[in-house]
Structure 1
Amino acid sequence: MRQRKKILIVNVFFPDERMAIKRSNQVPNAVAPALLAGYFNPATCDVRLYNEVNSGFLEVFQPELIGWPDMLVLTGLTGSFDRLLHLTAYAKTANPDVVVAAGGHGVRALPTYSRAFFDYTCLGDVEEIAEVIREALGADYLAERFNPRYDLAYWINRLGYAESSRNCNFQCGFCSLTGVGRKYEVPPMDYLDAQMEALGKRPIFFFQDNQIMGSGPESFRERLQRFQARRAAGQFKYWSGFVTDTFFWEDENIDFARETGCISVFVGVESFDDEQWLGEQNKKQNSRYNQAELLRRACDGGVLVQYGLVYDPTRHSLAQMNRELEIICDNPEIPPPNFIFTAIPFPGTPFFQDSLDQGLLLPNTHMRHMEGSTLCLKPTLDPQQEVIDFIRAGRRFAGYRKRFLQHQARFLRRYRHSLNRDQMLLSSIATAAIMAPTAVLGPGAALRRKVQRTHVSTTEVLDGVYTPCLPVAEQYRHYFLPTNLVNWGGEVNPAVADDVLPPARRQTTAEVVQLR
């Protein structure tokens, strides 16, 4: 009889606050661990999932899990890349025989660099774990058929996350998806069916796609009809998901969404006031129609729109950003934004390359800083301290809070006949979350003493978890150094050059010193 294997799958995360906190109310949230777990044979594997978004840093809140697994599977966003290294170092120290497989956006951004740290560097989608299982453990540990383990995903309650398509059909210059260059695809329908079946009854079904309608309206409608059949049977009440501006171009898409139970859609508005910047970033789909008009049409059509704005301090003046806030506050037809983030120069993107060519990347910028609340670019239009003040408080509507709350009241009155009570509640939660994200998303941390951040990559404090709190073998101590992208001289770190620079810009020496 085969020995049972212990499998730990972790979604890693760094909170903006630089503290060991739990974001228990985070939405959207991770689905990859539940999908990855679906490829392990339950007859031969004991599988556990851990999500650092909701449960905090693994070694802080559940250190007993560090030495438990025979295989550790890690995934996470770009800015959380160093957490992959931390947990690998802990696990390898506690159990030198543990097999570590890592994937996700951070690994895709630094594929060559990553191979020095993990037993398996996974650059594909979740099904790649099947080959890892077969090679590392043996065919007996691979599930006979894919069966997502939502029963182990303790952080998924009312929302049922699933994946019906991958990547994006657009190539926006600042997007991390553009940086890794993977094509948009829609997996076979039985992949979606397996997820919906495994989810059981949930109030809200969330399409965790980057762009649900990237393959055109026909495929979009086919997937929604699969959902609608289950909704009619009582399994789901609403659906939500990510779209682009193209979704709003045809009223029939809005009507179809409302008729099939859409509670909201997420879209990257990015800017109400700068078509030139949108064009420079190859996001021309947002320049075809007036953004405010599209949002009004959707809300009048019974579909709540949730969205984000981008602040690029190399292209946007603070006066312009204040105009963006005023546009929102003065127009009750515009929903509240869910977030305003500082432009992120993701490695490998055209935005990163352009910023590097223009000497705009700040010295000592790390992967850790790729999260939207840290200034990584030299401001060109306003004094740096004023830019920092906006990042720290302005993007939370400081100075506009009374007007913003009044706007929300007028917004609710404006759409009281087209949006239902659940949609209005969702919109009001978004208003509270952008003004006080820690209190709403991680209420347990609201009263804790805050870490004093600089919000500038060059001087930003490191999270406390960069100092090991558990034993770490000497050969893994360097895993706790921050992964450097731009050195103190403003040049790309040679250790990551093969991943972030085009071939003509890479060093040609036979050996590159691995500086981190």
Structure 2
Amino acid sequence: MDALSLRSLARLLYLQGRGASGLRGDRVAVRVTFIWPRSCEFPVYERLVPTLTIPYLAALTPPHWEVTFADDNYGEVDLDARPDLVAISVSTMAAVRAYALADAFRARGVPVVLGGWHVSLCPDDGEAASHADAVVVGEADDTWPALLDDFERGRLKPRYVSHNGTDLAGYPRLDRGLLDGRKYLTTNLVQATRGCPYRCSFCSVSALNPKYRRRPVDDVVAEVTRLRGRSLFFIDDNLLVHREYSRRLFAALAPLGKKWIGEVSIDIADDPELLDLAAASGLVGVLVGFESILPQSIGEMNKDQTNAVERYKAQVHALQRRGIGVLAMFTFGFDHDTPDVFERTLAFCDDADIFAASFGILTPFPGTPTFDRLEAEGRIRSRDWQRYDLQHLVHDLPGWTPERLQAAVRDVEARFYGWGSFVRRTWKLRRYPRLVRPASLLLYLVVNLQYVTTFRRRRRALAVPLA
């Protein structure tokens, strides 16, 4: 047994002794700290929207546990804190940071549990287990309470695995008090569905959660009704997979007078009735994975089930005429990408009056079909998880060097979020009267200014001039 394990065992024995009067009777308070590790040096999305994972896990935690949360994106992790247990949710891009934090706490005698989608998609590589006292594979709805019970009894197992998708009918009531509302666009995060039946080859969501599940509409509406304030964010990976469910949900939300944003597939715009219901329910902004303006690249990623490039412009206009701003997400680095893809993407954004946009590099997350294909072809050039951040090229791409592709993507960002472009896009809002209503206009300004600020900081750090 190594020194870290001995220290962890000593901590567990201490806890067991502290509760010797009967953890099942007097219920001695036990302390757990949840950590959301920093995924990159210049986070944008993470500073706008917190994680719902932590409040969800906190809701599954017995009431005699004292729960705290540290968002590493805001530098909140205190390595000198002495909770009884630390739980860290690990994404691929945050894995290196998560493991460093785990090692630091374990060196101080604090047991650590690692879970999250990176751990779940790499269950057998042993990497996470080498940095933790226990790992959780899959959804934690059933395994987390069992893990805590084992911990209190001093018999923590090294691995907990969930094999079945949780029935969302038993969704717990969440305490969002863990999230500091002063830091984020909103802490009113809601989940109506989980999983995705589509099989986009690069996507970790469908690889991790292929089983699509829905909460009862009445449960969702009851939760939304309890939320303070008028704004909320549906964190579903695609709220439109089951159209009849979406119709019932939107109709039930409409009387509540809320304003909300969420992630949808662009083909919502092909259903005018559904689009009208969404707008009437308070939808003011959508995150849409356009990914590429090249049909060949859409086919390469198996996203032609929802995306048709020739309809993009009309679809964007249909959304924005109804006061629904489109935050378009684009990805570069597919085998079919041509050197002119960057100019063509910027031209499309200008022509379609895109509300806001993000630009990233294809990242073959482990566990996805894209990773498996590239690995089989011998094209994975790095397993440094810090570089799996949508900003670095980690695989061989014919005709491109990592430096050239990364510079091209940074140039697209710089041009889209330069002040001239920002002023021009703001002026174009007059074409869509509903987009200049207070809720939509505020969303536009907050998102764009956050991106402008972040990209300028990144440019300065990389010594790359901004247009």
Q: Same fold (TM over 0.5)?
A: yes
Is the counterpart of residue 163 in structure 1 residue 191 in structure 2?
yes
Q: CA RMSD in A?
A: 3.1
Which residue is 1:72 aligned to?
Answer: 86
Give the partner amino acid of 1:265.
V
How far did 1:35 drift? 1.1
Which residue is 2:300 aligned to?
Answer: 280
Is the counterpart of residue 358 in structure 1 residue 377 in structure 2?
yes
How far did 1:278 drift? 0.4
* Alpha-carbon separation, structure 1, partners of 2:425 and 2:195: 33
Is the counterpart of residue 218 in structure 1 residue 244 in structure 2?
yes
Which residue is 1:133 aligned to?
Answer: 148
Is the counterpart of residue 204 in structure 1 residue 208 in structure 2?
no
Give the partner amino acid of 1:413.
R
Is the counterpart of residue 122 in structure 1 residue 136 in structure 2?
yes
Which residue is 1:348 aligned to?
Answer: 367
* Alpha-carbon separation, structure 2, partners of 1:361 and 1:85: 22
Give the partner amino acid of 2:122.
L
Q: 1:251 to 1:121 in 2, by over 3 A?
A: same
Is the Cα–Cα contact under 8 Å of residues 310 and 343 in structure 1 kept in the other structure? yes
* Alpha-carbon separation, structure 1, partners of 2:286 and 2:45: 22
* Alpha-carbon separation, structure 2, partners of 1:247 and 1:427: 21
Q: Please, which of 261, 279, 282 is the counterpart of residue 240 of structure 1? A: 261
* Alpha-carbon separation, structure 2, partners of 1:423 and 1:292: 20
Q: Which runs of 5+ in 1 are unaligned?
A: 139-143, 440-445, 454-516
Which residue is 2:437 aligned to?
Answer: 420
Q: 1:149 to 1:416 in 2, by over 3 A?
A: same
Give the partner amino acid of 2:237.
N
Q: Please, which of 407, 412, 420 is the counterpart of residue 389 of structure 1? A: 407
How far did 1:288 drift? 7.1
Q: 1:222 to 1:136 in 2, by over 3 A?
A: farther
* Alpha-carbon separation, structure 1, partners of 2:459 and 2:238: 37
Which aligned pairs between 1:398-477 and structure 2 lie closer than 5 A?
398=415, 401=418, 404-405=421-422, 407-417=424-434, 419-437=436-454, 446=457, 450=461
Q: Please, which of 313, 334, 339 is the counterpart of residue 358 of structure 2? A: 339
Is the Cα–Cα contact under 8 Å of residues 78 and 370 in structure 1 kept in the other structure? yes
How far did 1:289 drift? 5.2
How far did 1:344 drift? 0.5
Q: 1:368 to 1:25 in 2, by over 3 A?
A: closer
* Alpha-carbon separation, structure 2, partners of 1:189 and 1:400: 39
Is the Cα–Cα contact under 8 Å of residues 380 and 396 in structure 2 kept in the other structure? yes
The TM-score normalised by the length of structure 2 is 0.80
How far did 1:353 drift? 2.3
**Structure number with higher relative contact order (C-alpha < 8 Å, ≥ 6 residues apart):** 1
1:177-196 deviation line (CA, Å, top 9, x unaligned): 23335322124457646743
How far did 1:324 drift? 0.9
How far did 1:228 drift? 3.8
Is the Cα–Cα contact under 8 Å of residues 78 and 109 in structure 1 kept in the other structure? no
Q: 1:384 to 1:189 in 2, by over 3 A?
A: closer
Is the counterpart of residue 183 in structure 1 residue 200 in structure 2?
no
Which residue is 1:475 aligned to?
Answer: none
Q: 1:172 to 1:183 in 2, by over 3 A?
A: same
* Alpha-carbon separation, structure 2, partners of 1:145 and 1:414: 42
Which residue is 1:149 aligned to?
Answer: 175
Which aligned pairs between 1:33-52 and structure 2 lie closer than 5 A?
33-42=54-63, 44-52=64-72
Is the Cα–Cα contact under 8 Å of residues 279 and 287 in structure 1 kept in the other structure? no
Number of aligned positions between the proteins: 418
How far did 1:242 drift? 0.9
How far did 1:447 drift? 10
* Alpha-carbon separation, structure 2, partners of 1:399 and 1:252: 32
Which residue is 1:271 aligned to?
Answer: 292
How far did 1:309 drift? 0.5
Structure richer in helix, relative to its length:
2
1:255-280 deviation line (CA, Å, top 9, x unaligned): 001111111111101122x0111011
Is the Cα–Cα contact under 8 Å of residues 314 and 381 in structure 1 kept in the other structure? no
Give the share of equivalent positions with the same residue, in percent.
18
1:400-454 deviation line (CA, Å, top 9, x unaligned): 8466235403421211256523313322444444444256xxxxxx59973779x
How far did 1:101 drift? 2.4
* Alpha-carbon separation, structure 2, partners of 1:8 and 1:194: 29
* Alpha-carbon separation, structure 1, partners of 2:140 and 2:218: 15
Is the Cα–Cα contact under 8 Å of residues 40 and 94 in structure 2 kept in the other structure? no
How far did 1:28 drift? 3.0
The alignment partner of 1:73 has SS state of: strand
Is the counterpart of residue 377 in structure 1 residue 395 in structure 2?
yes
* Alpha-carbon separation, structure 2, partners of 1:298 and 1:170: 22
Is the Cα–Cα contact under 8 Å of residues 49 and 185 in structure 2 kept in the other structure? no
The alignment partner of 2:233 has SS state of: strand
How far did 1:103 drift? 1.6
How far did 1:390 drift? 1.3
Q: 1:187 to 1:122 in 2, by over 3 A?
A: farther
Q: 1:7 to 1:447 in 2, by over 3 A?
A: same
Which residue is 1:89 aligned to?
Answer: 103
Q: 1:212 to 1:3 in 2, by over 3 A?
A: same
* Alpha-carbon separation, structure 2, partners of 1:404 and 1:88: 43
Which aligned pairs between 1:251-270 and structure 2 lie closer than 5 A?
251-270=272-291
* Alpha-carbon separation, structure 2, partners of 1:36 and 1:190: 22
How far did 1:168 drift? 1.2
Q: 1:76 to 1:223 in 2, by over 3 A?
A: farther
* Alpha-carbon separation, structure 2, partners of 1:108 and 1:320: 34
Which residue is 2:164 aligned to?
Answer: none
Give the partner amino acid of 1:412.
L
How far did 1:378 drift? 2.6
Is the Cα–Cα contact under 8 Å of residues 39 and 147 in structure 1 kept in the other structure? no
The answer to which of 77-86 and 166-175 deviates more is 77-86
